[in-house]
């Protein structure tokens, strides 16, 4: 069975309880997510593909390009789109 995958710009937000929220949006404007359509809330682990470039905003990071986001194996995965 395939794991559901969201495609868009990922916004990675650290939480005070040492978990992470990952939002997926249709775009980024002025370093803010636009059109958020998916959220992975309070994930214990987030794995980000080391090939991805992350931009820094005030309290979060976001991807500079469209990525694939999914959850499985106890972690949220953020990776470059598969061809």
Beta strands at 67-72 and 61-63: parallel, antiparallel or unpaired: unpaired
Predicted local confidence at residue 69, as pLDDT? 98
Measured in residues, the chain has a length of 83
Predicted local confidence at residue 4, as pLDDT? 84
Q: What percentage of residues in the chain have a pLDDT greater than 70?
A: 96
The predicted model gives 50-63 an average pLDDT of 96
The predicted model gives 62-72 an average pLDDT of 96
Whole-number Cα distances in Å, 29 to 9, 25, 39, 76: 11, 11, 18, 24
Is residue 52 pLDDT above 80, yes or no? Answer: yes
Report the Cα–Cα distance between both ends of the chain, in Å, rounded: 19
Whole-angstrom distance, CA of residue 23 vs CA of residue 75: 14
């Amino acid at each position: 069975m395939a794991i559901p995958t969201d495609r868009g710009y990922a916004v990675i937000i650290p939480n005070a309880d040492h978990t992470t929220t990952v939002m997926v949006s249709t775009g980024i404007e002025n370093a803010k997510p636009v059109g958020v359509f998916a959220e992975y809330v309070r994930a214990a682990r987030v794995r980000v593909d080391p090939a991805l470039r992350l931009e820094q905003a005030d309290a979060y990071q976001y991807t500079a390009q469209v990525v694939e986001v999914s959850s499985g194996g106890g972690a949220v995965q953020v990776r470059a789109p598969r061809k």
